[in-house]
């Protein structure tokens, strides 16, 4: 018997992230590296840790090996607990047969027993593909004050981009009266962040109804939220102020990395407030040799820099040999950049080797096309 919890989190981490192409060939999207020493999943897990949420179910499905290895027992996020803690929840075989998670809502539906075992009053639904720093306690307070069935976190987006998001139309009381998935003519600039707090009984009721509906695509945004609204349930909105970035595409992942390098970064990883934790190994300090020239860059432990690094983010254990030049790029763990190689506006995934004098990417103001080299590749001239 588990202890009763006020709130538990369910983190949807099974997505393939197909728009990240090579980067998610062998790993799930939440396990993609970000910001030198982090992975995307560090952000929701650290947010839970910083918000006093000590029970998190991580729902995995697509290529879970690295993700399982990385989150291990949850210790880096203080989630190695006797009462609660971190649980990996993969799809499983039951008496009635076995099935994959068919959608975000179905994934939670299949784990209703897990939720019930903690008898939580509230359930926080999170997704593992956003970069942001948030105190969920504030959202929970807003939810309690509103006495709504569900609270949706929203963020202000430029009106011109609103067509790409799930848009919440909100009245002056902060209640959502209409939800439109990718509207052609958006009426509001408040986009759903895919973060929900539900009263547990309501969540279970709607998940069960949704599962009975064979036409449903079993998705929170497409089905559960619209159903709540159609049935006249009170839907509260919580407006989040701060940096939030969906890193579901190559260009947005690259941009989010570059955002860390701006003069006054909107997300300061070294800030001690709501700190972001990660599962670090002990690597030796970084070394800069004779030919090191670095500017406006983030460089991580274990790296050896003998070349030029400008406006780039380097993960742990990256070797930059003499005469190599890296501009506007994201270099992931243990990549070796050979002598005289030149890298422009690229993402080089982990364990790749760029041979001597190879040129990757296009020199110049080429932000519109990011070159991607998949994990473990060797690139010759």
Partner 1 sequence: MANASGIIFSSLNKNTLSRLTANRTVAAIPFACRYRLIDFCLSNLVNSGIYDISIVANYNYRSLYEHIGSGKDWDLARRSGGVNLISPYQTINDPSSAKMFSTRLEALRSISEFLREMKNDHVVLMDSDTVLNVDLGAIIDEHKASGAVITVVTKETDESFSSKNPRMMIKTSDGYISDIAMSDKFDSDHRELSLGIFILDKLTLLRIVEDATAHNNVSLTEFLMRSCKSNRYATYKYNGYCAVISSFLDYYKYSIELATSRAAREALFEIKDRPILTKVHNSSPKLFKGEANIVRSILADESSIEGSVINSVIFRGVKIGRGSVVRNSVLFHGTYVGESCSLDSIVTDKNVFIGDRTKLSGCHSLPFYIEKGRRV
Contact 313, 257 (CB under 8 A): yes
Which pair of tokens denotes residue 293?
């020239």
Determine if 270 is a binding residue for partner 1 (CB under 8 A). yes
Phi and psi dihedrals of 255, rounded to 5? -60, -45
Contact 170, 235 (CB under 8 A): no
Contact 258, 251 (CB under 8 A): no
Binder among 5, 37, 130, 133 for partner 1 (CB under 8 A): 37
Contact 208, 113 (CB under 8 A): no
Binder among 278, 334, 346, 352 for partner 1 (CB under 8 A): 278
In whole angstroms, the minimum distance from the beta carbon of 282 to partner 1 comes to 5
Determine if 329 is a binding residue for partner 1 (CB under 8 A). no
Determine if 74 is a binding residue for partner 1 (CB under 8 A). no
192: part of which helix (H) or strand (E)? strand 190-199
Distance of CA 164 to the CA centre of its chain: 18
Determine if 299 is a binding residue for partner 1 (CB under 8 A). yes
Phi and psi dihedrals of 325, rounded to 5? -135, 135
Separation between Cα atoms, residue 207 and residue 203, nearest integer Å: 6
Binding part of the chain for partner 1, among 108-116, 179-187, 229-237, 287-295 by CB under 8 A, reads 287-295
Nearer Cβ to partner 1 (5/336): 336
Binding part of the chain for partner 1, among 130-138, 168-176, 292-300, 354-362 by CB under 8 A, reads 292-300
Nearer Cβ to partner 1 (125/319): 319
What pairs with residue 331 in β-bridges?
A: 314, 348
In whole angstroms, the minimum distance from the beta carbon of 300 to partner 1 comes to 4
In whole angstroms, the minimum distance from the beta carbon of 239 to partner 1 comes to 28
Contact 130, 194 (CB under 8 A): yes
Strands 122-127 and 166-170: unpaired
Give the per-residue contact string, 102-121, with partner 1 (x = CB under 8 A; - = no). Answer: --------------------
Binding part of the chain for partner 1, among 118-126, 193-201, 223-231, 269-277 by CB under 8 A, reads 269-277
What are the residues binding partner 1 (CB under 8 A)?
35-37, 75-76, 261, 269-270, 275-278, 280-290, 292-301, 305, 309, 313-314
């Amino acid at each position: 018997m588990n202890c009763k919890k006020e709130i538990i989190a369910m983190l949807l981490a099974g997505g393939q992230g197909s728009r990240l192409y090579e980067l998610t060939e062998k790993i799930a999207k939440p396990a993609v590296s970000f910001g030198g020493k982090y992975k995307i999943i560090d952000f929701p897990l650290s947010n839970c840790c910083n918000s006093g949420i000590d029970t998190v179910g991580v729902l995995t499905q697509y290529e879970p090996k690295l993700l399982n290895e990385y989150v291990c027992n949850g210790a880096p996020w203080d989630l190695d607990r006797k009462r609660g803690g971190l649980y990996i929840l993969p799809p499983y075989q039951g008496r009635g047969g076995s099935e994959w998670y068919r959608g975000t809502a179905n994934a939670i539906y299949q784990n209703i027993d897990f939720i019930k075992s903690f008898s939580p009053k509230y359930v926080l639904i999170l997704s593992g593909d956003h970069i942001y720093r948030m105190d969920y306690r504030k959202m929970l307070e807003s939810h309690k004050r509103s006495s709504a069935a569900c609270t949706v976190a929203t963020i202000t987006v430029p009106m011109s981009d609103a067509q790409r998001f799930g848009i919440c139309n909100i009245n002056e009381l902060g209640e959502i009266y209409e939800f439109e998935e990718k509207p052609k003519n958006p009426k509001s600039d408040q986009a759903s962040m895919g973060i929900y707090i539900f009263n547990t009984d309501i969540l279970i009721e709607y998940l069960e109804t949704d599962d009975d509906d064979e036409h449903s695509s079993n998705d929170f945004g497409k089905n559960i939220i619209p159903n709540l609204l159609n049935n006249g349930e009170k839907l509260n909105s919580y407006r989040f102020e701060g940096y939030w970035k969906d890193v579901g595409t190559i260009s947005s992942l690259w941009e989010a990395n570059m955002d860390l390098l701006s003069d006054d970064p909107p997300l300061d990883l070294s800030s001690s407030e709501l700190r972001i934790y990660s599962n670090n190994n002990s690597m030796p300090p970084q070394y800069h040799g004779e030919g090191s020239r670095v500017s406006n860059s983030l460089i991580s432990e274990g790296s050896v820099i003998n070349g030029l690094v400008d406006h780039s983010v380097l993960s742990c254990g990256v070797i930059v040999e003499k005469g190599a030049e890296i501009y506007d790029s994201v270099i992931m763990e243990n990549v070796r950049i050979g002598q005289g190689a030149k890298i422009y506006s690229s993402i080089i995934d982990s364990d790749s080797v760029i041979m001597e004098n190879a040129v990757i990417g296009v020199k110049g103001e080429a932000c519109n096309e990011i070159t991607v080299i998949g994990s473990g590749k060797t690139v010759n001239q």
